[in-house]
Amino acid sequence: MPRVDRVVNRAVADIGEYIRTQRNNAQISLRQLARAAGVSNPYLSQIERGLRRPSAEILSQIAKGLRISAETLYVQAGILDRPRGGPVVDAIHADPDLTEQQKQALLAVYESFRVGAEQAAEDPDDSAVGRSVDLSGAGAGEVPPVSSEIRPHDKE
């Protein structure tokens, strides 16, 4: 068998295995998922066993039945490239307890933190590190202003 055929067959088996895992995690029977996705039981079984390669449309229908994003299945099937973000993004996409709306909200928050961290790394003068804490107006017995700057000790 040529190498390309083996790679394609592995991708078909991988998507089938992934669908079966998601179905089992969601505690949905093969019959229930087939009905929800609008496909026959034997066809879905063949997909799960890696004997059939589902189209993007069928993957979309299966995703709806599993209540996961179609994008997640497209990535698993090799139709789309894996989104950047790594294991956190993958975990959010794979969580069966979250709705699609919740996943999108979490991804938006996560991405905003990542952008903020990248900006702080690029422009350290704009970050909170290195700024003095302004406690002006501190009364008697209160803590005076403190600088968070790191300074080398003066040599004597």
Determine the pLDDT at residue 84: 66
Determine the pLDDT at residue 34: 96
Determine the pLDDT at residue 89: 83
CATH fold for domain 1-82: 434 Repressor (Amino-terminal Domain) (1.10.260)
- Residue 50 Rama label (left phi>0; alpha psi -120 to 50; beta): left
* Domain residue ranges in the chain: 1-82, 83-127
> Do 68 and 62 touch, CB atoms closer than 8 A?
no
Task: With a cut of 70, list the residues of the chain below it in pLDDT.
Answer: 1-12, 82-85, 124-156
Confidence (pTM): 0.52
